[in-house]
Structure 1
């Protein structure tokens, strides 16, 4: 939020510089980022002076240029070539001297010495547009030489002012600080604590509450909790015009665009006190007044030109005949606002339910300065001052205007201050220091927290309603400490050490870090994607069904309305983004949780039994594995490379591949059967495959992508059970034997390995595949596997007879189980 330094000082007197104010606000919890100087005229007219044209002669080489000599009050007169048709001797002008920087929108240029048609020129005579003081570009600025001071800086002549804008980051709980006066109140508390004296804040004087009956009736047809308060009054005799310069400048400093005097006043008061207002053109309200109700399925066009359809969840303000005029707390309708033809308005200041405003703003995708504040919870007691303040300003800006009748005030249940009991002993225990009672009293007084009673160290307090974040004792203690100063809490000098043993969570984190380092060392980059996803990603997918998605009750947008069921889509978006930036190699991994709803379980607000959250590791590879290498030809990635990476993860955790079953299965997110590793009781540890072309087309990816999803929760459990032992290196050699097998084309290498391991559990160390052949000279429906079996006895050298016995048994079992024949 932008805070004007000058406006802030109009509410609290301080001689702190803008940088010191920023530091002070940050120290009390209102973190301030940048401090930027804003000038009423860009550039501040630096380098520009008032001069007098002494002579003006026609240029010998031009029919429209003039050669002038100009006195700027110091040194010799300057020779300046000017092309303006109205330049004349004896007139005062605005001169841009050499080195002056002139601004034109976002661009700027520097005045330099130059030659124009052979004549040297030492500056420039300026028009209104060129220096930003007006819109006339027909000629240069001409002033009466007898009424100006020759040599005076142009900034002084035109009354250039500057301000500083402080960018304050408001946390969601501090709605009281979403205004200049709210920030001033906190700054006053800081100053009072620093000086030890009471610092008063000042609000401008406003009109007295008008008496009588408001001529516009208002009916509230919703529960009081949806609209706790609604106030308004009628102002007639308006002339809607451009706002005066001071008001336009204030709004532009805050980054707002001036519209007209009425709307600008409501925006100014919003940023002054934090209470939104809205001005209705009375001619569009009708004679039946206003009605606060819920939506009924109608459509309306908002001030930002967007069209929305209203539901029963939306609170709106309608005319008496039912036409919607404004979505309460969010934005007004296009047909309800003031225009140059408006002469009468109904000015409204109301309080609406925070949850209702937030839900509507999120649903229709509209965010405004009003909804930003209403969503955080506003004080119903603040509406009247804001309404009277806006009325005061409007009457000042429109001298012929007047308030007709009294004020509408719907306030069925007046909001009372929060009652909190503060224990000084408890506060000292929590903070670890004793704050003097006089400091506590001063801080509470500055924060407008009233002490109503004291019983020993128990203080009974009334907290203003606008402090929606201070409703408990600990909240009061935190508020006292932030003003007293976090930096004043001294360290005891005693170091507390925790020597508790490493638990399962610590071991899990260590394993995760180990695997991250391994993947990073293998050339992968870690990514972090949003846990929120779009329901549209899952349309038509049977392997990731929509009925198992976890829906959000209040989604931020239609594109982020569910929790992700798979890490897949975040990686695809990453690959797509990097492809557009000409990246050719894509190796990514991500740690994250996936969420799933068991549609067969009861889904109620009182149980989470139907929901499942699974820690998952995702890996993606795509593009070039080797590129632009002098030692190796270009090579694209392959699924076998990703398979190797997954198996290396298993190896790093000490999980024997022989303890996992390897199968294939059909999944519609993959273009071909996926490779799946499961435990022997059927639980899936990991799956790997090539992403289907339909999904790649959605992300505009034109190269194969291979994706592996690892159930980290299950893999970590398996690693927890694995006992790592240390053994001596075997003294006896490994024996290698090759087999060339003729198999059915549907037989997988994993099936061959499984049978071999089952046949010889003790001495078989490994099985590798070094050749696959299908085609000519083989029977139809057959293929050839050439494999190597590694045998080793750790106690003795294996005999030839022992080796032959094992090989014969393996061949026999392969023949019986898979129909494998030797080639």
Structure 2
């Protein structure tokens, strides 16, 4: 919500508080300030100037060379391209040094002619354009006078209001809050009133959803442009003026916080009826959209059944106020928040009104809002209030007295505030003290329901920094949650040190993202394919892109990679830790929420520089190396496993046990995200990673005796997995064997050098004894025993 500082000053004098002080006050009181900006003329070097001469530019048909009087005692030459002025007009002149935000005015040459400043349009100096070209100032404007002294500037504070504080969604509410925080008294405000009567032309057919509805008829109005003060206030907070009647309803909304709506009385046939929509009933909204309603939607309709408005959300196109309107019906009502929220989500219609009704408006403010709007319409648009305001239903009472526990207040506040000061804070916030420490809660503070709520308000306004801590830190045993947090933080730091960037993607994804790629990656948890019914779907998604809870972190990483590729990134190293969601067993068993780690790697393995002019391209072994680095005490293997949607896929094994899934995206998928290099992804079970990484890490002592190596080239079936060879080596359990690795693989599809269905795999083996230097015969014996075992167990022959 945008709050105008000038508008606030109508309620409260804040001239002795800087913006930084107000920012701190609101922030520490729980009101998030998202930004502060200034509107209006940005520099005191923008002055009134009179055009004394204008001649054609000698080298540009669309430019003129002007001589202007800026109150300096001599004329100033400025080249100008506008056409809407004449000699003698007074216009804004930006002198050299005037800052217009993105640039500063200086002296320059335009097509060879010197120009000492700039003549400006209204929009160029922070004002609203009313004509195309230069801003023409009044004839009596004083030449040389800075425009900051003529046009009012403003400061806009953008705040984010939490859902439990709808009372702050207005300038009156913000002034009330700042009055309590600063201790300043609010300026007096005369609240108009309306004569009311029981409704004769209003019927509420859905009382549960609309407990109170009022209608005020004003006849003889003249719908035209709003006065300058009203347009200025609305424009300051980002609203576009429409006409005087609509602008008044918007003004009252942002003044008091209660939404209103005005109908053209000529377009209303008979009595009003607040009813539920018929299933499939059509509604044409003011924004031009058409909606098919359900029996869950609340409508304002007339006797003929015409839908005039979707209650609390948006008016209908057919009943809106236009320039030909002469009589209006002013609506002020209270709608039940949950039903407004449901209709707004389902129809995807949102407005300033629905934003407030969804969070809960003040039921007692209905009459005040109607009275102020009716008064302003009569004053600005003319006309008369025709009869008394019709009232159907009654305002619900949503607050009740709350007792302040004095002893508990003293305990929680640590004696940092006196009882009188605490009572003064509650009084400033609008509460009224009763008997026996009971406090009447105003109707606009729906969040104050318990004793502790009152203490929280006192602490918030008093300042938590003023409450001294009475306790020192106490030792607490490390919990499982602490251990998981510490492990994940350590793992994040390790991945960052390896050149990876952490991503945080939204937990909601599009249902079409759940293609084969995602479904197959879900094998990582809990080691089986995604089944029908496993997806956790959102019942009322905000959009198609947020329709299901993610069953895998891979779609988010691939989307991040796509954005980085399109920004020109050559090396991609991303990881994300977070929850994945799914129903177990096709939705028949308990829902699963599992923590996982997703990795993505693609592109060059290092930046291009003078020493690395042609960097290598990352491959699957780079990703395997990262996984291995995260599990230094485990043997990591990639065991091939076919998965639809991937050119290459495997289970990730640690010490022979599955911990996740690995895959390479297909070329088609890479083209879809504009990737020029292979893209590799992996998703791992964080709980299993932590379990494998837990324990005391022991450092192996340096060997005292030299080792001896032997190489062996074995001929094996082309389908034989390297993991099978490694498993056989481990199974043999040769005590002298301390290291082994594959250093070459050779195949020949032509069959000339080796059979097409065979491959040659070369290994290097290192033997060492911790007790002595091995003799050649001992190494040969151990090596031959290993080769014999491999030949027997995995059916290989040695070359």
The TM-score range, normalised by the shorter chain, is 0.7 to 0.9
Task: Give the conservation status (yes or no) of the 8 Å contact 1:295–1:316.
Answer: no
Equivalent residue, structure 1, for 2:8: 8
TM-aligned CA distance change 1:695 to 1:162, over 3 Å: same
Structure 2 CA distance for aligned equivalents of residues 630 and 591 of structure 1: 35
Which of 585, 590, 594 aligns to 2:580? It is 594
TM-aligned CA distance change 1:204 to 1:29, over 3 Å: farther
* Structure-to-structure mapping, 1:554-573, within 5 angstroms: 554-573=540-559
How high is the TM-score relative to the length of structure 2?
0.87
Q: Give SS of 1:232's match.
A: strand
> How many Å apart are 1:142 and its aligned residue?
9.6
Equivalent residue, structure 2, for 1:418: 400
- Deviation per CA, 1:108-157: give whole Å up to 9, x if none: 88586989999x9988999999997985679996987xxx586573759x
TM-aligned CA distance change 1:553 to 1:471, over 3 Å: farther
Task: Give the conservation status (yes or no) of the 8 Å contact 2:516–2:645.
Answer: no
Task: Give the conservation status (yes or no) of the 8 Å contact 2:712–2:763.
Answer: yes
> How many Å apart are 1:586 and its aligned residue?
0.9
Which of 683, 686, 690 aligns to 1:709? It is 683
Higher mean C-alpha deviation, range 372-381 or range 513-522:
513-522
Q: Give SS of 1:586's match.
A: strand
Structure 2 CA distance for aligned equivalents of residues 767 and 579 of structure 1: 39
> How many Å apart are 1:290 and its aligned residue?
3.2
Q: Give SS of 2:552's match.
A: coil
Higher mean C-alpha deviation, range 665-674 or range 463-472:
665-674
Task: Give the conservation status (yes or no) of the 8 Å contact 1:300–1:307.
Answer: yes
Higher mean C-alpha deviation, range 610-619 or range 322-331:
322-331
Equivalent residue, structure 2, for 1:819: 795
Task: Give the conservation status (yes or no) of the 8 Å contact 2:536–2:549.
Answer: yes
* Structure-to-structure mapping, 1:386-425, within 5 angstroms: 386-399=369-382, 401-412=383-394, 414-425=396-407
TM-aligned CA distance change 1:238 to 1:620, over 3 Å: same
TM-aligned CA distance change 1:479 to 1:752, over 3 Å: same
- Deviation per CA, 1:577-602: give whole Å up to 9, x if none: 11111111111222222222114564
> How many Å apart are 1:319 and its aligned residue?
3.6
Structure 2 CA distance for aligned equivalents of residues 738 and 68 of structure 1: 90
Equivalent residue, structure 2, for 1:153: 145
- Deviation per CA, 1:724-782: give whole Å up to 9, x if none: 44554332333322221111111011101111211125333232111111113222311
Structure 1 CA distance for aligned equivalents of residues 365 and 226 of structure 2: 25
Structure 2 CA distance for aligned equivalents of residues 747 and 139 of structure 1: 81
Equivalent residue, structure 2, for 1:479: 457
Matched, 1:177 2:162: no
Equivalent residue, structure 2, for 1:614: 594
* Structure-to-structure mapping, 1:782-801, within 5 angstroms: 782-801=758-777
> How many Å apart are 1:376 and its aligned residue?
1.6
Task: Give the conservation status (yes or no) of the 8 Å contact 1:450–1:462.
Answer: yes
> How many Å apart are 1:615 and its aligned residue?
1.7
Task: Give the conservation status (yes or no) of the 8 Å contact 1:236–1:402.
Answer: yes
Equivalent residue, structure 2, for 1:38: 39
> How many Å apart are 1:204 and its aligned residue?
3.8
Higher mean C-alpha deviation, range 242-251 or range 3-12:
3-12
How high is the TM-score relative to the length of structure 1?
0.84
Equivalent residue, structure 2, for 1:684: 658
TM-aligned CA distance change 1:806 to 1:473, over 3 Å: same
Task: Give the conservation status (yes or no) of the 8 Å contact 1:732–1:794.
Answer: yes
Higher mean C-alpha deviation, range 384-393 or range 627-636:
627-636
Matched, 1:442 2:424: yes
Q: Give SS of 2:157's match.
A: strand
Equivalent residue, structure 2, for 1:636: 617
Q: Give SS of 2:438's match.
A: strand
Structure 1 CA distance for aligned equivalents of residues 57 and 611 of structure 2: 72
- Deviation per CA, 1:259-312: give whole Å up to 9, x if none: 011110111000001111111223333235333314622343332333333334
Matched, 1:770 2:743: yes
TM-aligned CA distance change 1:357 to 1:692, over 3 Å: farther
Give ranges in structure 2 of 5+ residues lacking alignment.
Answer: 523-529
Give ranges in structure 1 of 5+ residues lacking alignment.
Answer: 603-608
- Deviation per CA, 1:639-698: give whole Å up to 9, x if none: 1221222122221xx22x1xx775321222422242431665xx5213222123454455
Which of 462, 467, 486 aligns to 2:445? It is 467
Higher mean C-alpha deviation, range 370-379 or range 204-213:
204-213
> How many Å apart are 1:623 and its aligned residue?
1.2
Aligned residues: 781
Equivalent residue, structure 2, for 1:605: none
Matched, 1:647 2:623: no
Task: Give the conservation status (yes or no) of the 8 Å contact 1:765–1:792.
Answer: yes
Equivalent residue, structure 2, for 1:188: 179
Q: Give SS of 2:386's match.
A: strand
Equivalent residue, structure 2, for 1:735: 708
Higher mean C-alpha deviation, range 627-636 or range 257-266:
627-636
Structure 2 CA distance for aligned equivalents of residues 709 and 362 of structure 1: 34
Task: Give the conservation status (yes or no) of the 8 Å contact 1:317–1:326.
Answer: yes
Structure 2 CA distance for aligned equivalents of residues 744 and 416 of structure 1: 79
- Deviation per CA, 1:331-384: give whole Å up to 9, x if none: 223333211122222221222222232333333334321222122221211111
Matched, 1:317 2:300: yes
> How many Å apart are 1:208 and its aligned residue?
2.3
TM-aligned CA distance change 1:812 to 1:76, over 3 Å: closer
- Deviation per CA, 1:489-532: give whole Å up to 9, x if none: 2355x6x1333454544444444344333333332222222222
Structure 2 CA distance for aligned equivalents of residues 758 and 339 of structure 1: 87
